[in-house]
Structure 1
Amino acid sequence: MGRIIALLILLIPGIIAGVGIKLMRDTFFGVLVSPFSILWVQGFIGMICFAFGLYIVAGFILFRDRKRNNVSARFRK
């Protein structure tokens, strides 16, 4: 049960980060997605989605590695 919860914790922000990458890619190539009316807003929202997803996934991995003492001295508390 714990592994399924951990997978969901990583899967949901991973999907959000993937959507952010897609929005930034569409902005780069000039493809406007329907909920947005301006390209730079679409790119900004994509960047925020990507940063949020990366922040959550990286924080989860760092927390897990700190718990198991698998990090270098500068990341230990």
Structure 2
Amino acid sequence: MKLVISRFIAVLVLVIPGIVACIGFLKMKDSTFSYFAQFGDDRIVPEFNWFMFIAGFVMFAAGIGFIGGWIFFRDRKHNYVAAKFNKKRSGSNV
């Protein structure tokens, strides 16, 4: 039972940043779409919602960065990365 709970927590640790990245992407998309959609209305001057776009970008970058970092360190642990990304060993003169 302990293994099931730990695996469930591990999945949540990866799913939550993925959801945050998706929400960030949707915020960026919505702010861009609403800006271009305002060009069809002659009664208003189109304004870009920078706050929503930047908040979406931060959320997207944080989510993708977390998932990318997790994959990188997992691959580094299993020695799947190129030689230049392997950890330097202390004590060796090479």
Question: What is the TM-score when the length of structure 2 is the normalising length?
Answer: 0.69
Which among 53, 57, 67 is matched to residue 57 of structure 1?
Answer: 67
Runs of 4+ in 1 over 3 A off after TM superposition: none
In structure 1, list runs of 5 or more residues that go unmatched. Answer: 32-37
User: What is the Cα deviation at residue 16 of structure 1?
Assistant: 0.3
CA RMSD across the alignment: 1.5
- Shift, 1:4, TM fit: 2.4
Secondary structure of the 2:34 match is coil
- Equivalent residue letter for 1:46: G
Match of 1:10 in 2: 14
Tell me if 1:28 matches 2:32.
Answer: yes
Alpha-carbon separation, structure 2, partners of 1:4 and 1:19: 22
Identity of aligned residues (%): 44
**In structure 2, how many angstroms separate the alpha carbons of the residues matched to 1:65 and 1:3?**
19
User: Which of these two proteins has the greater Rg computed from alpha carbons?
Assistant: 2
Aligned residues: 71
TM-score w.r.t. the length of structure 1 is 0.83
State the distance in 2 between where 1:72 and 1:6 align.
26
Please list the CA deviations of residues 10-42 of structure 1 after superposition, one character each: whole Å capped at 9, or x if unmatched.
1010000000000000011017xxxxxx71100
Q: How many Å separate the matches in 2 of 1:55 and 1:15?
A: 13
Unaligned residue ranges in structure 2 (runs of 5+): 36-47, 88-94
